[in-house]
Amino acid sequence: MNTTIERETLLRALSRVQGVVDKRHAMAVLTNVLLEAEDDQLRLIGSDIEVSLAQRIHAKVAEGGRAAVSARTLFEIVRESTSDDVTLKLLDNQWLEVSAGNSTFKLMGVQPDEHPGMPSAVTNGSAGAKVELGAGDLSEMIRKTVFAVSTDDTRSNLAGVYLEPNADGDGLRMVATDGHRLAMIDRQVAGGKLEAGIILPRKGLAEVGKMLPEETGSVTLTMVGNEAQIEIGDALLSMRLVEGTFPDYRRVIPDETPREVCADRDDLLRTLRRVSILSSERARGVRFKLLEGALEVSTNNPDMGEATEQLPIDYSGDSIEVGFNSKYLLDVLGVFEEGCVVEIGLGDELSPGVIRGTDKQYCYVVMPMRI
């Protein structure tokens, strides 16, 4: 292999691979990036078995070939280089020579055949479902749900985002929950149809979410066997589906919330940030109290003190008090647009709260807590 690539192009590709490669994986070969040069392209592949990424970039290939070297080391060399181009040349015994300007590095590599490469999905002979949707829509779906995925390793069926056809059958719905809060969003698709619900892993979606802001067109999502593959421009990301059955999330969404209040998103966000300074680090509890024309947000921490702040709102109903985890509220307010108005639906002190913004296809449910 002997190929020359523009530094910025190679750095962008290696940066994407960094998010997938496991720096401390028990299988040492998975800390490497697989390089495949052919025709006028260089293909970079990173994998941790569960998530794999193949990135194609333009290259001047004098001699084709394959190599596998430390993904982190190669990334750092290219990042620190000031040269316009980087040349990769395979030497004897799988060593790779990296030349950039006046610098030359020789990296110890491994047999490329030892690297798993991209997974070959096992199917039953039937074609996998394929869906096409806008990159912006998918980016927003991920951004507004992935933060609610459970981090509890004992609840594997909640360790991802549930993707299913929406109620009308002409779009997709993403749902994420950790048992304390739930985020749900619907979006239309440009083509294709998803036949059944699947659970996409948090890590895979997080990496997809990083790549999507650079895209302006559409992306293709294909389900084949136990793998979901997403084509994003010149990249293909494959992720192994989470096993298990996603819970019936519809049961926790209230049919109605008798008390509806509206608040400025920015004002509520700042109020919660201030008040939650004195909340317990473990429970992060704050209390909402509805008053005539005001929402009172307070917390009481025996070890630190107490805080109270009133936020003007449009409300004229009866008074009610309910406690919430402030982190769960701050998380969702962080994905709403600046300057928008948020609607908060409340039942009683034991009922979940429902939060919506200007996007009526997005819904957030947060369970109450005793304070």
Distance in Å from the first CA to the final CA of the chain: 64
User: Regarding beta strands 32-38 and 65-70, do their DSSP bridges make them parallel or antiparallel, or are they unpaired?
Assistant: antiparallel
Which of these CATH numbers, 1.10.3720.10, 3.30.465.10, 3.40.50.20, 3.10.150.10, describes 253-366? 3.10.150.10
Q: Specify the pLDDT at position 121.
A: 56
SS3 16: helix
- What does CATH list as the number for 130-250? 3.10.150.10
pLDDT at position 302 = 86
Q: How far apart are CA 9 and CA 240, in angstroms?
A: 28
d(CA 260, CA 248) in angstroms, rounded, equals: 25
* pTM of the entire predicted model: 0.90
* Same fold across 2-114 and 253-366: yes
* Range picked from 126-135, 230-239, 278-287 for highest mean pLDDT: 230-239
The per-residue pLDDT for range 112-121, each reduced to its tens digit, is 999 999 987 5
CB-based contact 131:231 (threshold 8 Å):
no
Residue pair 363/335 in contact by the 8 Å Cβ criterion: no
Give Cβ neighbours of residue 187 (< 8 Å, ≥ 6 apart): 133, 134, 137, 138, 140, 141, 171, 172, 361
Could you say which of 3.10.150.10, 3.40.50.1700, 3.40.640.10, 3.90.1150.10 is the CATH number of the domain covering 2-114?
3.10.150.10
Nearest CA to 325 among 364, 367, 265? 367
For residue 123, name the pLDDT band (cuts at 50, 70, 90). Answer: very low
Helix (H) or strand (E) run with residue 268 in it: helix 265-275
**Amino acid sitting at position 108:** M
DSSP line for 155-179? -GGGSEEEEEE-TTSSEEEEEEE-S
Per-domain residue ranges for the chain? 2-114, 130-250, 253-366
pLDDT tens across 171-227, in order? 999 999 999 999 999 999 988 888 889 999 999 999 999 999 888 889 999 988 899
- 222-226-227 Cα angle (round to 5): 40
* pLDDT at res. 127: 53
